[in-house]
Structure 1
Amino acid sequence: MDVIKQIQQAIVYIEDHLLEPFHLQALSDYVGLSPYHLDQSFKMIVGQSPTAYARSRRMTLAAQDIISGSSRLMDVAKKYHYNDTNDFANDFSDFHGVSPIQVNTKRDELKMQPRLYIKLSTTEKPPNAYRLEDTEGISLVGYAKFIDSDHLENPFKVPDFLEDLMENGNIKELQRYNDVNPHELFVVNCPLDEGVEIFIGVPSERYPSHLESRYLPDRQYAKFNLQGELDYVVNEAWYYIETSLQMTLPYEHNSLYVEVYPFDISFDDPFTKVQLWMPVDQEQYLNFD
């Protein structure tokens, strides 16, 4: 339930600051969620990212200002922090598909975004099953990638990273270091103050110098067994978790979470089996030196 409240707070904050430049980090600090989890939760609940929502609301208000005829185009551009009228006109046209000078003749084509409000609803759709499981600590070796808060909108961050590693032969290399159970590929998403670290690795007792190492400490996870296309299966599970499990599953929103994949990854197979581990208790994400 806390995340629903935080997303409501985020919407209020965005609405109160539409005449100011938007910064995901500032919004993150205000609502108390990491930029990564804020961006992800907002998209799952609202249907678009905080950045996209803020832009659509600004472009809507700008269109209303132009329609009213009370301000010159130059003044409207300055109001929304554009130093150049042409830059504003280009952004306006890119968003609405209509130039500022066409607004009054093509009002029906404007993409107006009303202010959003959140409400809870019931559903007849059966819930995704999960199990609570205490898991012993796991030592991992692999590759890490940091994504800053300005580049979190891409919903395919993990599949893209996996694909890069596959093309470079790194997944096969990691498989050779997977000398202890479980014999699977781990993806650890760790929210940080200014973005997220994605770590892809395997359980191992060896620590080669060219690979990075991480340690998943003993903790309890809610484990979901998923099946579907790699690009969408985890995002669909997240949507269910964010919209349906807020009041029943006390998972840690600002903690790491884990995805577990088979080594024979296929991006097109609708029957790919993936596990999603949601941390139930707050724990520390440890680095090996």
Structure 2
Amino acid sequence: MIGTLNALVDLVERSSGEEIDVAAFARDHATTEYHLRRMFSALAQMPLSEYVRRRRMTLAGADLATGAPDLLTIAVRYGYGSVEAFGRAFRAVHGTGPAEVRRHGGPLSTQPTLRFRLSVEGSTPMDVTIATRPEFILAGHATQVPLIHEGVNPHIQEHIASIAPEEHVRLKALSDTDPAGILAVTAEIEPDAPEGSLLTYLHGVALDANTTPPADLDVISLEAGTWAVFSSSGPFPETLQRLWAATATEWFPSNPWRLRPGPSIVRYLEFTGTHATCELWLPVERG
């Protein structure tokens, strides 16, 4: 996967103004667009689309600072159909407009070319179980929250706090299949969504596919498939977030599995508010 990601970076460099067919590239490298975008985003700490935009605006800034052709020519060179669209993208990256850079040479914000390397320094020990599950249902209380990569998500906290204590008891009693108990489910988010993007968070439980969930609960139906189950124990949420990162930097690059579309599930085995022992369930398939 590390080699594939570097080949993708090289493709970005060769395609300064052309649309990149990420799906075709993924097929040519025996993977899927979903997994490729998830791995790129996790390792680069930005979506592929954002990296492409930053690199193109970096090159465009150099063109402008060195007195290159008119703005429309530069806009077309980097894949924009109008000076206005190019100007908006340019300002979003550099914080200043193309005309100002042409006159004053800057200031410019540079996005270096990425190069991915696999490092085992400070590696995170991971206990992993591969579980094949029949179809099942996730049922609970769902809401839309913004994606936050680091620290506690206050929107999720607010949602959980709004659920009455007796409802937590009812939910736990409904659980009748693995993963057992109360679950934190993240769903309906693009594989390389930037921070702040909306996602569906469901606080609920897993039900057998033949169980009819109560009508007042939100439901996510899941097909039969394979899950990688990672165990984690330590300060919350730092340990869980480090585990998330380690799946991308260490586990997936060295194992014959890739992510498939589907929600991620956190099962809390013990939770004190500052310390958590939990399982992270990720939907996977053989690479």
TM-score normalised to the size of structure 2? Answer: 0.69
Aligned length: 268
Q: Equivalent residue for 1:202?
A: 205
CA contact 2:61–2:101 (8 Å) conserved in 1: yes
- CA distance 1:255–1:101, shift in 2 (3 Å): closer
Q: Equivalent residue for 1:287?
A: none
Q: Equivalent residue for 2:163?
A: 169
Q: CA deviation at 1:144?
A: 9.2
| Deviations, residues 244-270 of structure 1 (Å, cap 9, x unaligned) | 22454333322546422449989xx54
Q: Which runs of 5+ in 2 are unaligned?
A: 194-198
Does residue 274 (structure 1) correspond to residue 278 (structure 2)? The answer is yes
CA distance in 1, matches of 2:99, 2:227: 58
CA RMSD across the alignment: 4.4
User: Percent identity between the aligned chains?
Assistant: 19
Does residue 252 (structure 1) correspond to residue 258 (structure 2)? The answer is yes
CA contact 2:139–2:206 (8 Å) conserved in 1: no
Letter in 1 for 2:43: I
CA distance in 2, matches of 1:7, 1:106: 36
CA contact 1:229–1:270 (8 Å) conserved in 2: yes
Does residue 31 (structure 1) correspond to residue 31 (structure 2)? The answer is no
Q: Equivalent residue for 1:97?
A: 95
| Deviations, residues 2-53 of structure 1 (Å, cap 9, x unaligned) | x22332232233233320356xxx4144314555533331122223210111
CA contact 2:26–2:33 (8 Å) conserved in 1: no
- CA distance 1:208–1:113, shift in 2 (3 Å): same
Q: CA deviation at 1:163?
A: 5.0
Q: Equivalent residue for 1:242?
A: 248
Does residue 224 (structure 1) correspond to residue 231 (structure 2)? The answer is yes
CA contact 2:269–2:279 (8 Å) conserved in 1: no
Q: Equivalent residue for 2:137?
A: 140
Question: Secondary structure of the residue that 1:109 maps to in structure 2?
Answer: coil
- CA distance 1:54–1:111, shift in 2 (3 Å): same
Letter in 1 for 2:206: P
Q: Equivalent residue for 2:114?
A: 116
Q: Which runs of 5+ in 1 are unaligned?
A: 148-152, 283-289
CA distance in 2, matches of 1:8, 1:132: 29
Q: Equivalent residue for 2:185?
A: 187
Q: Equivalent residue for 2:196?
A: none
